[in-house]
Structure 1
Amino acid sequence: MIKVPHITSSTYLIKQLPTPTAFIDSNYNIVLTSNKWSTTFDRNLERSSSKNLFSVFPKLNQKWKTVLESCLKGQPQLMGVHQASDKNDNELWFEWTTAPWYDTHETIIGVIIQLNNVTDTINNELELKKKDVLLQQQAEITKIGRWEYDIINNQLTWCATTKAIHEVPPHFTPNIENALFHYKEGHSRNAISMALFEAQSKGKAWNNLKLQIITANGNEKWVKAGGKPIYNKGELVGLIGTFQDIHDQVEADTKFLDNEKLLRTLIDNLPVNVYIKDTESRKILVNKAECDYLGITDPNEILGKNDFELYSFASAEKSREEDLQVMRSLKSIISKEKVNVKKDGKETTFLSSKIPLIDNKGIAYGIVGISLDISQLKEKEDELRNIINIVSIQNKKLLNFAHIVSHNLRSHSANFSMLLNFLETEKDVEEKNKIMVMLNEASNNLLETLDNLNNVISINTNTNIEKKEVNLNDKIIDCNRNFATYLLNNNAQIKNNVPPNFMVKSVPTYLENILSNFITNAVKYKDPSRNSVITLSAIKNNNHSILTISDNGIGIDLKKYGKKLFGMYKTFHTNKDAKGIGLYITKNQIDAMNGKIEVKSEIGKGTEFKIFFNDKN
């Protein structure tokens, strides 16, 4: 730190300086001040201590450190005008000047700061500027008249503009009585009368009273009136004021409000969602349909909010990208199909249009959005597509069924015809008895075929099947009990891993048949080298209850038989009990319940069936 030289001999002279003066060291600490400085600023001499200049004057602009640094280098300059508070907290303006402070060796050890009080000058300049601004503003305003009322002489004066507004001739001499008479009777006349009374009795001014007058020509006009009292040595001597014709403005505002109300009525009654967003994708206007969709009654609940506050993050992110695309490219997006997901998870499909709002400089300042809810149409479309798919599947089934019926009944018919021909021509009684046994067996086969065909017809034509909540675990236990002897005789076992309270939506009789068929098939087609193990498990996933039935049997060659696996009378093994009807009926029952079935199999290792029960419909 620079050592401050001995300055006692000159202290007296410094104290007597006529202007506020301070000596500061190179660290901007105040070392010595004049009496004028102390009497101006110091409260208990607090600014005479070695405080830093910038802590004493916290409002002093920090960039002025550069000026002080220049002065310390021997380059003094004017710091400028700065406002500071005196010891009585009065705000004063000072012009600051600087000079280097040299020691006896002509070395700069600090800065001398002198202040010149320019408060009056600054205030006069500010007042002058205010008057200039007021005059400029008044000059820019058209059709503003003036008036003045001399109370002592009871004389009212109107300027030419005020007379023109009242539609009176230039030589017209107004007075208080006829001036008040021009105001429309009722609210307008009562309001101006009260304003005049309070101005004279209470010294109260009035501003921007919007009133109606009746002109000399009988025309109604909207005007804006203002006035204030004038005093001379505390005595009220008159009133002055302004008078403005605002009829066209009021008419325009009224028309605008009517148009706005009409437009709002139209927008609110449109059967589509309408909204306006700003550049930050915040909603600044919404119609009733948009409010209804978001489940609110007061638009203010969503105004100012963006999509991230109203929809899921994924939906909001896509919407924001579209908004930016429209505002950047200035090209509209018309009737784009999109899915919105609200915070509660509800999905809605819209045909959405977004149109850029463009200012006169060609820059987008927001977008107009129009969205048509087509969720019900999409549901109907999906239903129609499902119906078409079902009809197509049913047609294929019908053709296949007709072919099967034709083929099987023709086979039975040919067999009967051949046996009857043999019976007619055969003379030997023993041979006839053998033919009769064969005819009886053929009859039984025909009845079995008809019974199978009847089951298939019943499944595919029963449109009133009723699904119920069924405990899957209970049904498996019942099935295990019913087939206990059959399982024991075939060294087979069931591993039931289904949770105790696992419920599925199913036709109870169909579920029993499905379980019976898959379990008996697993035993029927077991691997002769090992005991049969049938494992059942179940899970819930995407509106489906999924039952998995796996075995360790001989397996199926799916590459060879996969497409024919669920066909009628299709067999894939040499097992003499295979008839090819069980899987066909089971598949039809699962289809009838709007479910599906999947299969995995490997020769020599076993087969796994997944049955999907539709929990939704």
Structure 2
Amino acid sequence: MKTVKRIDQFYLLKQLPSATALLDQKGILLDASSAWLDIFGLPPQDNTSNTNVFSLYKEILDLELRLAEQKSFTLEHQLENPAGIRYLKSSFAPWFDDKENVIGAIIQTDDITSEVKKEEEIKWLNTILDTKMEVSHTGWWEFDVIKEELTWCKETKRIHQVPDCFQPTTIEAIDFYKTGYSQNKISMLFHNSIVNHQPFDAKVVLVTFEGEERWVRVTGKPVLKNGEAIKIYGTLKDIHEKVLAETKVQEHQQLLTTLVDSLPLNVYVKDLNTRKILVNKSECNYLGKTAEEIIGTTDFEQYDEETAKISREEDLNVMKNLTPIFGKETVSILHGKTTNYLTSKIPYFDLEGKVCGLIGVSLDITPMKRKEEQLRDLIKVTSLQNQKLISFAHIVSHNLRSHSANFSMLLEFLNAENDPEERQGIIKMLSQASDNLLETLGNLNEVVDINTKTSETKKPLNLRRNIINVLQNLSALLQKNGSHVINNVAENIQVNCVPAYLDSIILNLVSNAVKYKSENRESLITIDAVQSKEGVLLSISDNGIGINLEKYGDKVFGMYKTFHNRKDAKGFGLYLVKNQIEAMGGSITVQSEVDKGTTFNVYFNEES
């Protein structure tokens, strides 16, 4: 009967799906399922087997004692075999007979290798995650909406500078943020995430447990179930050093931008395709556009093709040959306005030392160029004035010396002469000489007045009307000499001129044309005027006896220079006209052929 029982038990154990074994009180293996025997690599057991279980659990030194206690317990252990290490979990329980006496132990063994490896993998992943979080200064947090429980990871606690045992509430967590904007912002975002299911990402200031203010980036995302938020997951990243660095960079950029924009220079940076990637305020003002409108454009989109072509060739040469340009004088034409620049272009290198564009700097020297031109004009005028002064001094010296010599000689004659009639004749000659001297002094004084009274006010005058007035005053002279005048000057032409000077100019030039008429033909005088941007050109032409310009060309406007044998010729009118015209900033030229006529061209300067 016992044998039958034994056989039934044996076959029952063999068929069990779980790894199970039976031990006696001495730890001898009585029976085991095939699954249990396979784990330990044992052959099927029979009555003659004396396998001691302690040899199978060598690493568990107190197994015999624990079995002797006749209590249930569980062990985790390893089993090495050629295939590798297997991780096992064995549960020991007392084995009773039908009279409730302990007669041995039952062992149930499970292969937990896959679970152990998964745990090790999870542990490894958690270690990697913790390391990454620590290195990146990023922690996580979780809020259970139902339980109202907030959980922080170690890195989140480290950022808050609290102990690992610290368990925060939501109110305590929000209180960590700086009072004001940051605390209000987090409160609002956290509330919206729970109520309105909105994720958030904010950059705020955190005040740590130790009182240190630090910039952090907080994110949160709700987990929904049946349309309700049940959890909020989020991250907390310490970005304090990054924010400080960005702020420093922004401050430096702002300083650089302010400095570059404040420079009285046009500054720009171009890429390898000569497109502008940076411009300062002066460059924007010159082009009359905003920085956004200029960035990304080339010179071909801003200037005429010829100017842009020259600039591009310079740019490519600087970047290709790494040859900078320093202080080159250039001319820029934009919207018809010409600007003179002193331009420098230097290669622009990236952090690896490779050329990535160029930096251009242009100084507007247009005012300097104007000053140079004004200086040259001033030097020219000064030179002419000096020359005129020298000539005037010679004239004064010559004329006064002539009058003085004439007076001395007549006085000697008067002292030596006893005849009353002769003496009366000499006195008459002295009176005439006195009149001549007064006339000369008057002429010289008039020239001095013209050249010294620079404050004479120019006024806009109708040229045709002034010509008509002068011709009316000369009507007797014109009629007496049979001179005919054709006035072609248009009604709308105006000149900026000193009124007295304009009358004097017209009077002298018309009188000259009458005085030097030809006896072989009727006297004809033609007056024309042309108005242009530069000013007004007045031409007075006659068909008189003309002047030999090859012989007298450099003396036409000299004082007391005459070129014909006329008793009434004094040589002062043209000299006076020239001084009056030049005093107003204008000029006069002459064209003439002997026995064909003469034309005087007067150029009026329209600047007031």
- Normalising by structure 1, we get a TM-score of 0.66
Specify the alignment match of 2:472 in structure 1.
Answer: 481
Aligned letter for 2:207?
Answer: I
1:566 equivalent to 2:575? Answer no
1:415 equivalent to 2:409? Answer no
Displacement of 1:616: 0.8
The secondary structure found in structure 2 opposite 1:526 is: coil
1:207 equivalent to 2:204? Answer no
Whether the 8 Å contact between 2:215 and 2:240 is mirrored in structure 1 is yes
Specify the alignment match of 2:355 in structure 1.
Answer: 363
Specify the alignment match of 1:228 in structure 2.
Answer: 221
Taking the TM superposition and a 5 Å limit, the aligned residue runs for 1:46-65 are none
Q: Give the % identical residues.
A: 48
Instruction: Supply the distance in 2 between the matched residues of 1:417 and 1:503 (Cα, whole angstroms).
Output: 52
With over 3 angstroms needed to count, the CA separation of the structure-2 counterparts of 1:366 and 1:595, relative to structure 1, is: same
The secondary structure found in structure 2 opposite 1:566 is: coil
Whether the 8 Å contact between 2:274 and 2:357 is mirrored in structure 1 is no
Whether the 8 Å contact between 2:207 and 2:213 is mirrored in structure 1 is yes
The secondary structure found in structure 1 opposite 2:519 is: coil
Displacement of 1:592: 0.9
Give a deviation string over 1:435-470, Cα, whole Å, max 9, x none. Answer: 444334333332332222222222222222221112
Instruction: Supply the distance in 1 between the matched residues of 2:192 and 2:430 (Cα, whole angstroms).
Output: 126
Bigger drift between 182-191 and 237-246 goes to 182-191
The secondary structure found in structure 2 opposite 1:474 is: helix
Alignment partner of 1:449 out of 440, 443, 446: 440
With over 3 angstroms needed to count, the CA separation of the structure-2 counterparts of 1:452 and 1:200, relative to structure 1, is: closer
Displacement of 1:569: 1.8
Whether the 8 Å contact between 1:555 and 1:605 is mirrored in structure 2 is yes
Specify the alignment match of 2:543 in structure 1.
Answer: 552
Specify the alignment match of 2:255 in structure 1.
Answer: 262
Whether the 8 Å contact between 1:351 and 1:374 is mirrored in structure 2 is no
The secondary structure found in structure 2 opposite 1:590 is: helix
The secondary structure found in structure 1 opposite 2:223 is: strand
Aligned letter for 2:139?
Answer: G
Displacement of 1:272: 4.6
Instruction: Supply the distance in 2 between the matched residues of 1:420 and 1:196 (Cα, whole angstroms).
Output: 124
Alignment partner of 2:280 out of 257, 281, 286: 286
Specify the alignment match of 1:66 in structure 2.
Answer: none
Instruction: Supply the distance in 2 between the matched residues of 1:200 and 1:545 (Cα, whole angstroms).
Output: 86
Alignment partner of 1:461 out of 423, 434, 452: 452
- Alignment: residue pair count: 476
Quick check: which has more Rg, 1 or 2? 2
With over 3 angstroms needed to count, the CA separation of the structure-2 counterparts of 1:259 and 1:497, relative to structure 1, is: same
With over 3 angstroms needed to count, the CA separation of the structure-2 counterparts of 1:571 and 1:236, relative to structure 1, is: closer
Instruction: Supply the distance in 1 between the matched residues of 2:469 and 2:155 (Cα, whole angstroms).
Output: 105
Whether the 8 Å contact between 1:328 and 1:364 is mirrored in structure 2 is no
Whether the 8 Å contact between 1:281 and 1:320 is mirrored in structure 2 is no
Displacement of 1:613: 0.7
Taking the TM superposition and a 5 Å limit, the aligned residue runs for 1:320-359 are 326-327=318-319, 330-338=322-330, 340=332, 342-343=334-335, 349-359=340-350
Bigger drift between 223-232 and 404-413 goes to 223-232
Give a deviation string over 1:363-382, Cα, whole Å, max 9, x none. Answer: 3435343535652x555554
Instruction: Supply the distance in 2 between the matched residues of 1:227 and 1:328 (Cα, whole angstroms).
Output: 52
1:396 equivalent to 2:390? Answer no
Aligned letter for 2:454?
Answer: T
With over 3 angstroms needed to count, the CA separation of the structure-2 counterparts of 1:589 and 1:295, relative to structure 1, is: same
Instruction: Supply the distance in 2 between the matched residues of 1:312 and 1:178 (Cα, whole angstroms).
Output: 68
Instruction: Supply the distance in 1 between the matched residues of 2:228 and 2:411 (Cα, whole angstroms).
Output: 143
Instruction: List alignment gaps of at least 5 residues for structure 1.
Output: 1-134
Give a deviation string over 1:16-50, Cα, whole Å, max 9, x none. Answer: xxxxxxxxxxxxxxxxxxxxxxxxxxxxxxxxxxx
With over 3 angstroms needed to count, the CA separation of the structure-2 counterparts of 1:326 and 1:605, relative to structure 1, is: farther
Bigger drift between 208-217 and 380-389 goes to 380-389
Whether the 8 Å contact between 1:231 and 1:238 is mirrored in structure 2 is yes
Aligned letter for 1:402?
Answer: A
With over 3 angstroms needed to count, the CA separation of the structure-2 counterparts of 1:474 and 1:314, relative to structure 1, is: farther
1:578 equivalent to 2:569? Answer yes
With over 3 angstroms needed to count, the CA separation of the structure-2 counterparts of 1:439 and 1:161, relative to structure 1, is: same
Alignment partner of 1:252 out of 215, 229, 245: 245
Give a deviation string over 1:279-328, Cα, whole Å, max 9, x none. Answer: 555574433x55666778x7667666766777778777766665555555
1:587 equivalent to 2:581? Answer no
1:511 equivalent to 2:502? Answer yes
RMSD: 3.8
Aligned letter for 1:482?
Answer: N
Displacement of 1:504: 0.9
Bigger drift between 323-332 and 543-552 goes to 323-332
Displacement of 1:152: 6.6
Specify the alignment match of 1:109 in structure 2.
Answer: none
Give a deviation string over 1:420-442, Cα, whole Å, max 9, x none. Answer: 32333334455444444433433
Aligned letter for 1:582?
Answer: G
1:426 equivalent to 2:420? Answer no
Aligned letter for 1:614?
Answer: N
Specify the alignment match of 1:596 in structure 2.
Answer: 587
With over 3 angstroms needed to count, the CA separation of the structure-2 counterparts of 1:420 and 1:176, relative to structure 1, is: closer
Instruction: Supply the distance in 2 between the matched residues of 1:215 and 1:352 (Cα, whole angstroms).
Output: 55
